[in-house]
Chain A
Amino acid sequence: MQTLLKIAGLISLLLGVTRVQAQPLHDIIDTFIVTAQGESSSIQSASLDDYGFARRVYLDLTGRIPTVSELLEFVGDSEPQKREVLVERLLASPAYARHMQYTFDVMFMERLPKKHVPPEEFQTYLRKSFAENKPYNRLATEILTADGSVPELRAASRFLLDREIKREETVRAIGRVFLGRDLQCAQCHNHPNVDGYLQQHYYGVAAFLQRSYLFTDPSSKVVSIGDKIEGDVTFTSVFTGEDGKTQPRLLGLPEIQDPQQEEQPYEVKPDSKNRGVPKYSRRLQLAPAMTSSDNLAFRQNIANRIWAMMVGQGFVEPLDMFHEGNAASHPELLTALANDFMLHDYDIKYLIKEIVMTQTYQRQSELKVQDFADGNSRYLNGTLKPLSPEQFAWSLLQAVGVVEKTERSVIAALEKEDANFKEATAQSAVLIEGKVSVALKSQIDSIVKVFAGSNAASRFDASADHALYLLNGPEVAKWLAAGQDMLLDQLLKVDDNQALVSRVFLTIYSRMPSDPELKLAVEFLSVGEQGREEAVRELVRTLLCSAEFRFNK
């Protein structure tokens, strides 16, 4: 009966029409994944213990590892609902907005340098959007609509303006980021290897922007996007020589026909002094068409991306290769997730919380059966997720004690300013986090620059200069120096080597050492009083250089 109910819920989600959900989404997800895996459930990994769960959710929801006190407080809590309580607390924290800002900034802008809109303004806009949990369809609408002419939404126009609405970059970005399809290869011909990517899809997106242009205000020199009433899209296949043309359209959806042109087609006629504003703008049809419930690709793409962000692997991989020849691993579940997200008004926190509450999310990355590596695609075990450069930077500064030291000085300054300052309110948390982020920005940026250096995408990257930075970099040496009132000083106060090693493991790996690890590390420290400081420092550095610290396991 239970299963029947769940399946009924799933079917209603598949149809995407109603919200007769008998079961919460996280149950539906688990039911579906367990049903789909059939007999292989025997190789399914065990659930995370409290230490592992805390590390994973802190990284996934706040973008950094937990402090030792946050970790021990959670582990020591005997409340049965404590995982849900922690998830809700983290989603409400200012660090959540910060982490989402980083993640979506890289997704939307791929670390493109500044052109017309300062990246910081776009990032602040994103942070505010996530702090207020702006529905995703609204966020997408703002980003696809903002033309840079309205000051309040100028920041959101970075997506289009900093690509200078150049066809190659902009059409490709819209296809990848919002539709999950890299249409680049369909620019000159129907995609040679992918059946579903047609030239008309590429040019259908291009047609929304064909009549738009960059307008530079002659007095302020501010650049924004203007629109005209003419300009059609035609194309020729370099393979077949066939010509085609298209109105604006998204993938297989119908072309959007222009209305009958009015006698006075312009609100503002374009000239050297005025940004063109037509009564009917093709560009402004993009956001409504994109976010329309007719456009399944929009919600499937974002559901797949958020799922991948949390679980480490999309139903469709690569994330921008949705097509018939690359079917989703769990197509019905993906559609169900997408539809439920839409029915919940694109509430991002809702979707994330439901994913985190699944057993699927809470599975260990350690395999139950040796040499069994095929479980990933079926979510039988947790996926090893490389930390993004930003997650790594915050975790590194957290581990060596820079974050907490900065927090202490921020709080001290606030208390000095206001004798009645109370640290433990939600308002104070936002204030403190904001000031800490500002104080740490240059250090975070310098680490991100090293770890994202050769790679625009957010995928995992390991090269010798990353390793050299951690092994030999002067920054790391400074953070690990004695007398800084940070991690090293705290450790040097601990005389007992076993206690010291436990502290190091809790700080860096967010867990206790196993017996063999304890033995190894204590042995490493057995150098006599003379070389103790160096040995402790190298123990810390070695853990920071190890794979376990580099991944969300």
Chain B
Amino acid sequence: MTMRRNAGCNTIDHHVTRRQFMGTGAMAGAMAGFGSLLTPAMAGEMKSKQKQILQVYLQGGVSQFEAWDPKPGTKYGGPFRPISTSVPGLQICELLPYTASKMHLLSVVRSINLETDDHTVGRLFMEKGRKNGDYPFVGAVASKYLTTPDNPLPGYVHITTRGIVDQTAGFLESKHAMMRLEGVKPPTNLERPQGVPKELAIRAEGLRKQLNNQFGGKRSRALIDSYDTSFEQAQQLMARADLFEKQDEKELDRYGRHWFGRRCLLAKTLLEEGVTCVKVTHHGYDTHAENFNFHVEQLDEFDKTFATLLGDIEERGMLDNVLVVIYSEFGRTPKVNHKYGRDHWGKSFSIALGGCGIQPGGVIGATNADGTEVSEREVDGAHLFHTYMQAVGIDSQSNHALDGRAVPIGDPVAAPIKELLS
């Protein structure tokens, strides 16, 4: 990466190169301090704990210029300044001050090129690690391979508002498909119909099991068992309706009383309860007009809430086992249009990720001076998918074993971003 003149701001010294983890020194200290708090038994327990994923999806395409890859004083850089972060030498946009103080927990990938400017194609590529085909989403794969058999909760939950219906499980069993929560409302049909006494419902559940055992006794069990499991999952969800009850007021003060705050608080609860993959969507980044004003508003809501959530996850010692990814289906055009908007741009944009063994404090790849194309270490959805999988301990270069066909988990033409994996 070349030095460049920065007219808008004095702190031009924010050039970082790939593989250069400037936070290493600071982190080593932090890790040592953290490590000393743990007894060996606790450490062992954490090691054996189920790996989890938190996906924070900034729907519509957050601008890389206004978030992870600021280009102050350049042709397309926009009005905002970069700020320093908890990682010396790493700067992000000034719209993310709280997140900046947590950057020692995250790394940034600045060199993503999806070669598409289409919402759906971009979203599917970022989730499936494949540009097309009937493949499962990150969350469904995680649900399949990481969820322990005794875990009563669904493996993949998405807290959102809008009803985009994707085929999230692909060829995996549908119990790994995304369970969609409408904001913080409980799942559909969670409440027993009126007029069914509890005692009768319990007897009915017992009768159902007896009938199934009788029916399954001399038949091949796989299908019957999976049908049975769906009823057990339903019963367990009904028993945990409390997860969706009123949220703690003090916590809401910390997370923010807006929708995104409530959703992130629910996400934290679900992670603590052991849901394998929790996806939270923050809507509204498709800023074809008034890009800058909208980013001020959107990121103001995102920043403090997300930093609070990340801080809580870290404080509870969960970050060793939770992969956190903040992503969009693409970024936004360098060129600002006549409505002060930025349009769709999949050619050079960024995401941030951390936790679960991801090297913190790093920057992978770079864009050129004006941010119009990737200049170093180009990656796409397939590389990212491999990286997520490797981080949570799934060998993405092996195969799904399905009814007679071997399907590679990650796209064989791509590989994980090794620099991020410790």
Contacts and interface: CB of A to CB of B under 8 A. Distances in A.
A136 to B, nearest CB: 26
Contact of B413 (A238, A463, A524, A527): A238
Contacts of B234: 464-465, 467-468, 471
A466 B230 CA distance: 8
A466 B134 CA distance: 22
B226 A460 contact: yes
Interface stretch (A295-303, A402-410, A537-545): A537-545
A546 B206 CA distance: 11
A543 B210 CA distance: 11
Interface stretch (B182-190, B345-353, B375-383): B182-190
Interface stretch (A4-12, A115-123, A124-132, A472-480): A472-480
Interface in B217-252: 217-221, 223-224, 226-231, 233-234, 237-238
A321 B405 contact: yes
A512 to B, nearest CB: 14
Nearest to A452: B174
Question: Which range holds the interface residue count of chain B?
Answer: 35 or more
Contacts of B190: 468, 472
Contact of B196 (A168, A365, A534): A534
A467 B201 contact: no
A90 interface: no
A446 interface: no
A180 interface: no
Interface string B186-198: 0111111101110
B227 A465 contact: no
A536 B226 CA distance: 27
Contacts of B178: 454
A516 B134 CA distance: 45
A534 B197 contact: yes
B215 A326 contact: no
Interface stretch (A140-148, A279-287, A366-374, A490-498): A366-374
Q: Which of B169, B179, B215 has the largest count of A CB atoms less than 10 A from its CB?
A: B215
B403 interface: yes
A384 B175 contact: no
Contacts of A367: 218-220
B319 to A, nearest CB: 29
Contact of B219 (A365, A464, A465, A524): A365
A467 B403 contact: no
B133 A546 contact: no
B204 interface: yes
A486 interface: no
Contacts of B175: 462-464
Contacts of B212: 546-548
Contacts, number: 160
Given A464-B179, A520-B210, A547-B224, A318 B192 contact: no
A454 B215 contact: no
Question: Which range holds the interface residue count of chain A?
Answer: 35 or more
Interface in A251-271: none
Contacts of B195: 534
B215 A548 contact: yes
A517 B214 contact: yes
B112 interface: no
A318 B193 contact: no
B405 to A, nearest CB: 6
Nearest to A474: B193
B405 A370 contact: no
Given A193-B406, A455-B177, A184 B133 contact: yes
Nearest to A471: B234
A542 B208 contact: yes
Contacts of B214: 516-517
Contact of A465 (B173, B187, B208, B210): B187
A517 B207 CA distance: 10
A328 B261 CA distance: 55
A472 B154 contact: no
Given A542-B208, A547-B224, A463 B197 contact: no
A472 B192 contact: yes
A275 B134 CA distance: 33
B404 interface: yes
A525 B321 CA distance: 50
Nearest to B403: A318
A318 B404 contact: yes
9 contacts: A376-B220, A386-B223, A462-B174, A467-B234, A468-B237, A472-B193, A524-B203, A531-B197, A547-B215
Given A317-B404, A318-B405, A542-B207, 14 more contacts: A326-B404, A365-B219, A367-B219, A384-B219, A457-B171, A460-B223, A461-B174, A463-B174, A474-B193, A517-B214, A520-B211, A524-B204, A534-B195, A548-B215
- Give 7 closest A-B pairs by Cβ, nearest first: A467-B234, A454-B177, A462-B230, A464-B233, A468-B189, A461-B174, A472-B189
Interface of A: 168, 184, 188, 192-193, 238, 317-318, 321, 326, 365-367, 370, 373, 376, 384, 386, 453-457, 460-469, 471-474, 477, 516-517, 520-521, 524, 527, 531, 534-535, 538-539, 541-543, 545-548, 550-551, 553
